[in-house]
Chain A
Amino acid sequence: MTLWLIILGMGLVTFALRLLPILLLERVEIPWRVRQALRFVPPAVLSAIIFPELLWPHGALDLSLGNVRLLAGLLAALVAWRTRNVLLTIAVGMGALWILQAIL
């Protein structure tokens, strides 16, 4: 039951964000400052997921060379930066993770 409420809530806020500017634009305009802030939402949110994923893999900070997710993630970041290709980034990152897990 709670799960369905959560999903409905997620759907409602998402739909509201997509619909309200279309409906209200004739009356309200989004201030330039807010538009500027919104530009930083994707890099901020996605990094906030990526960093703990790599540096905090098992519930504690791990900066050692034995942290295979950190090593694979850094390699993937290099691929993403050079090629701008999401599929290739995933492929290289997963490949690196499997190889490192096997040898370390």
Chain B
Amino acid sequence: MVTGRSEFLAGVRAELPILLGVVPFGLIFGITALGARIPPIAAFLMSSIVFAGSSQLIGARLIGGSAPGMIVVLTTFVVNLRHMLYSTSVAPYLKPLRPAWKWLLAYLLTDEAYAVTIPHYHGATESPHKHWYFLGAGLALWSTWQASTAAGLVLGRQLPVSWSLDFTVGLTFIGIVFPALRDRAGVAAALAAGGVAVVAAGLPLKLGLIVAALVGIVVGMMVEALYPAPTRRVAELHQHVTPSGEETP
């Protein structure tokens, strides 16, 4: 008998393996925020107000570099654009729910929650309670993210600068991006964005990241138009794009 409760617990269980990778990410965010001279209480609340790991890391660094607020918000927008894809893909399943449920699940719609929830929605099991599974996965991630941020904020004070722990941010992104590069267009987007980012590193107002990301996206689309992906990938695109190895909340 599938109940809301059993679905909730199944969602929590499905999320557990992913949490292993989330804990160090939260620690790194806490440490990075301290390095950027963000007050601990603000950094801690950022994890529940924003609740999107990579944009929080990037935002913390921009704030530390005294970027204007508008640029920080605009960069967050670009970095989190991919969530529109997830939102579009779960929308049909959430249609029958009350607005309060829609708002709550939208807030919990991270890379990791999406990664385990969408296969469950697609799965063969019939259940009117699948939104409870989503909630279980989402809340498991949410509480882990808050706790590991807090741990990073406590731990970060003890760690000496000579350990170069800021480098873990770049390494985390390397670990996410390389496995996800599957086709020519994706590689082109990554190379173009990276190249422009180096050239534009001196741009005023920390605009370099946004400009580089936009150039990368355009180049990716151009290469895709020149060398269309095999039909299998196009079909996958039409359906639901998986989070492609993304590891960030």
- B194 at interface, CB cutoff 8 A: yes
Q: How many residues of B contact A (CB 8 A)?
A: 95
Q: When the two chains form their complex, are residues B193 and A44 in contact, meaning their CB atoms are under 8 A apart?
A: yes
Contacts A18-B109, A42-B177, A86-B21 known; A47 to B224 CB distance under 8 Å? Answer: no
Q: When the two chains form their complex, are residues B213 and A41 in contact, meaning their CB atoms are under 8 A apart?
A: yes
Contacts A25-B91, A36-B224, A97-B167 known; A17 to B77 CB distance under 8 Å? Answer: yes
Known: A22-B91, A48-B197. 17 other contacts (CB 8 A): A7-B46, A7-B49, A9-B76, A35-B85, A37-B220, A43-B177, A44-B215, A46-B54, A48-B193, A51-B197, A53-B169, A69-B167, A73-B174, A76-B175, A80-B177, A84-B245, A87-B175
Q: When the two chains form their complex, are residues A43 and B186 in contact, meaning their CB atoms are under 8 A apart?
A: yes
Interface residues of A (CB under 8 A from B): 2-11, 13-15, 17-23, 25-26, 30, 32-33, 35-56, 61, 69, 72-73, 76-77, 80-81, 84-90, 93-94, 97-98, 101
Q: In the bound complex, what is the Cα–Cα distance between A27 and B120 (angstroms)? A: 26
Q: When the two chains form their complex, are residues B198 and A6 in contact, meaning their CB atoms are under 8 A apart?
A: no
Contacts A9-B69, A40-B221, A94-B168 known; A22 to B94 CB distance under 8 Å? Answer: yes
Q: When the two chains form their complex, are residues A10 and B59 in contact, meaning their CB atoms are under 8 A apart?
A: yes
Nearest chain A CB to B211's CB is how many angstroms away? 9
0/1 string, B55-70, CB within 8 A of A gives 1: 1101100010000010
- In the complex, chain B residues whose CB is within 8 Å of the CB of A20: 84, 87
Would you list 14 pairs from A and B whose C-beta atoms are within 8 A, ordered by A residue? A7-B46, A15-B106, A18-B87, A18-B109, A26-B95, A32-B238, A41-B81, A43-B177, A44-B213, A45-B54, A45-B78, A51-B197, A77-B174, A86-B21
- In the complex, chain A residues whose CB is within 8 Å of the CB of B241: 35, 38-39
Contacts A43-B180, A73-B174 known; A22 to B54 CB distance under 8 Å? Answer: no
Contacts A7-B49, A94-B168 known; A49 to B173 CB distance under 8 Å? Answer: yes
Contacts A40-B186, A49-B209, A97-B164 known; A18 to B83 CB distance under 8 Å? Answer: yes
The number of inter-chain residue pairs (CB within 8 angstroms) is 265
Q: In the bound complex, what is the Cα–Cα distance between A100 and B247 (angstroms)? A: 28
Q: In the bound complex, what is the Cα–Cα distance between A39 and B109 (angstroms)? A: 17
Q: When the two chains form their complex, are residues A48 and B213 in contact, meaning their CB atoms are under 8 A apart?
A: yes
**Interface residues of A: mostly helix, strand, loop or mixed?**
helix
Q: When the two chains form their complex, are residues B85 and A14 in contact, meaning their CB atoms are under 8 A apart?
A: no
Q: When the two chains form their complex, are residues B175 and A80 in contact, meaning their CB atoms are under 8 A apart?
A: yes
Q: In the bound complex, what is the Cα–Cα distance between A76 and B85 (angstroms)? A: 29
Q: When the two chains form their complex, are residues A15 and B168 in contact, meaning their CB atoms are under 8 A apart?
A: no
Cross-interface CB contact of A18 among B24, B86, B238, cutoff 8 Å: B86
Q: In the bound complex, what is the Cα–Cα distance between A3 and B59 (angstroms)? A: 11
Smallest CB gap from A35: residue in B: B85
- In the complex, chain A residues whose CB is within 8 Å of the CB of B38: 3
Q: When the two chains form their complex, are residues B244 and A42 in contact, meaning their CB atoms are under 8 A apart?
A: yes
